[in-house]
Chains A and B, each alone.
Chain A
Amino acid sequence: MKANIVPLDFEKPLNTLSKQINELEQKSSLVNGNKKLLIDLKTEYEKAKADIYKNLSPFDRVKIARHPQRPYAIDYINHISPSFYELHGDRTGKDDNAIIGGLIEIDGQTIMVVATQKGRNIKENQKRNFGMPSPEGYRKALRLFQHAEKFNMPIITLIDTPGAYPGLEAEAHNQSQAIALNLRELAGLTVPVISIVYGEGGSGGALAIGVANRILMLENSVYSVISPEGCAAILWRTRDKASEAAKALKITAKDLYELGIADEVISEPTGGAHYNIEETCKNVLSSIKKHLDELNKLNAEELRKDRQEKFRKIGEYIQG
């Protein structure tokens, strides 16, 4: 276990073991007994590690998805593109920093990236509003989508948000309409759109930049109609049942893949993306390239149809 990583509650046993191993290793001379102990501890560590990460509950994944050291949009952007020209503002009065967007390049193709961005500390989170966009953020996103459409650029959206911001000003500035309009306009675009959920896919706030030809999800990301805590508060009448709600809602990447909503699950290093950011970004990039190659072969009308058909199919009901 990397020393600088904040362990999650279910990782605590691992953390204790790795501390013991470190202590033993630092002792200059090892007597035979200690050597054996060290080997035992190491086997135990590997076993515990395999056990813990194999049996992660949906709510454990929520915790990984929310891990404060998990890579954010800017980390991915910096790793997958040599340059990033950030574009700002909704052109009607505000630049919402919970949403970032701009131009990147992949294999010589210009791409518009639009993403939600959280902050790493209090000051950053004041600026980023904990990754909860306001209507102005969604309007900025829409402006960038239209910009991409005009210049025939594929769009990549990176999603990690607890949801659209539920505030007084957000309501007064029509949060609902900002989201709804994005859903409608994304559906009509004639350029490739790829969405990658890399952390929390928080309901409508995530979907507002997520109506895509391909929805990719990182292994430990989640995507849900409501947060497990919110769902538990309403249906179980207590937030303490969040773990059960997380299970019932079927929110993990694997669940969404099985439900036919996610098109691919991008694998993460053992323990989660934050254990090896380079490796994660490499996986993300190769996945992007694969899907971009496929989508680049479609013409404008096919791209629009492909996206609409993807969503047209979703839903389960009986007839007759």
Chain B
Amino acid sequence: MNYLNKGETMGLKDFFKNRQLKKAAKQQIEMPSIELKSIPSDETLCTLWTKCESCKQLLYTSELKKELSVCKHCDHHSRLTAMERIEQLVDYGSFIEIDYDVLPTDPLTFSDLKPYKNRLQDAEKSSSAREAIVTGIGSIDNQSVAIGSMEFQYIGGSMGSVVGEKITRLIEKAIEKRLPLILISSSGGARMHEGILSLMQMAKTSSALKELHDAGLLYISLLTEPTFGGVTASFAMLGDILVAEPKARIGFAGRRVIEETIRQKLPKDFQTAEYLLLNGQIDMVVHRKELKKVFSDLVRLHTQNEKKFFFNNDLVLDVKDTPLLAKV
């Protein structure tokens, strides 16, 4: 992070990185795209380089990370993991994860083409997350907040019993400690593999939010690419302030389902953050680089009139809750 703040003067390392970058970019232009796939050391290349999903330009991974995973060519906000989100928003080292030991089970012994149990194992491997959400307490510019961030890589960020339970507990924690709540959504909706139990998590989380609402606490909901179905139709849309990232797709029903139902093509910008803003559904579309400042300001503006609850740093947390050091 310190490296980032140096800013203007270019280090020697950067100079060489840039040279390599230019060289590689030049090679890319000359090379036919088919050959690209057959470059041998694919894995090492993948960790070093990231291809922008939008403009297909190759970006130096470490540089992309410094830019908060926003493409410098086309401003595309690429998908982040739950922990990356939190790292980008909270003060360095301030995040304390809670309820990390709440883990999924298979209540319906569900099996489609593959048993749900196996899907859970695969999801854990492929996403290196234990469930589709990370929750905890952190601070934003020294203001304590309860924060939850969804992991899209884990079964499409779908909400099953664990997601519902962890969000509900986080809300209860926020009420107990009188903290503002921030939830970052990225989800395809309710998790089918837990059937009706998943659906009921919509009621469970919304019901907890009713308590938070009546307790007069702030809830900021950040909608990111993509947020759909049961997640949008419950906690994600219930924020006092609704913020979305540029071009994020947000909606209730999926585009294809709607097109099949009404038998007509939908406009290109349908269900984008900008479309939602135009239709009065969200408060603002905020660039990722501005997010921390906007959140910090919003928390301050909503809490400074109630000073007696402000700067609530004497949090009593379980011994097992140790701070996670942010990986930079």
Given A211-B203, A226-B190, A311-B204, 13 additional A-B pairs, CB 8 A: A166-B252, A172-B279, A174-B281, A177-B281, A179-B252, A180-B237, A207-B202, A223-B196, A224-B199, A248-B112, A249-B108, A315-B201, A316-B107
Q: How far is the CA of A174 from the CA of B238 in the complex (A)?
A: 12
Please judge, given known A-B contacts A167-B258, A211-B207, A318-B103, whether A250 and B199 are in contact too, CB under 8 Å. Answer: no
Does chain B have a CB within 8 A of A282? no
- Whether the pair B251, A207 counts as a contact (CB closer than 8 A) is no
Chain A residues with CB under 8 A of B201 = 314-315
Would you call A125 an interface residue if the criterion is a C-beta within 8 Å of the partner chain's C-beta atoms? Answer: no
B105 touches A311 (CB 8 A): no
> Which residue, of B110, B197, B206, has the highest number of chain A Cβ atoms within 10 A?
B206
Report B297 CB to chain A, min CB distance, Å: 24
A315–B192 touching, CB < 8 Å: no
Given contacts A175-B253, A180-B233, A248-B111, contact A319 B210 (CB under 8 A): no
- A48 part of interface (Cβ distance < 8 Å): no
Identify which of B165, B214, B271 gathers the most chain A CB atoms within 10 Å of its CB. Answer: B165
**Chain A residues in the interface with B (C-beta under 8 A):** 164-168, 170-177, 179-181, 183-185, 187-188, 203-204, 207-208, 210-211, 223-226, 230-231, 234-237, 244-245, 248-251, 255-256, 259, 261, 307-308, 311-312, 314-320
Interface of chain B, main secondary structure = helix
Evaluate contact between B238 and A250: CB separation under 8 angstroms: no
Q: A171-B252, A203-B199, A226-B192 are in contact. Are A181 and B207 (CB under 8 A)?
A: no
- Which residue from chain A places its CB closest to the CB of B257 in the assembled complex? A166
Distance, CA A148 to CA B290, complexed state (A): 44
CB distance from A144 to the nearest CB of B (A): 18
B201 to chain A, nearest CB (A): 6
Q: Do B238 and A181 touch (CB < 8 A)?
A: yes
Which B residue sits closest to A262, measured CB to CB? B196
Interface pair A204/B230, CB less than 8 Å apart = yes
Answer yes or no: B1 CB below 8 A from chain A CBs.
Answer: no
Contacts of B279 in A (CB 8 A): 172-174
A315-B164 CB under 8 A given contacts A187-B206, A236-B112: yes
15 A-B residue contacts at CB 8 Å? A174-B237, A180-B206, A180-B233, A180-B238, A187-B210, A204-B202, A204-B252, A225-B190, A226-B190, A231-B192, A244-B112, A249-B108, A250-B108, A261-B196, A316-B197
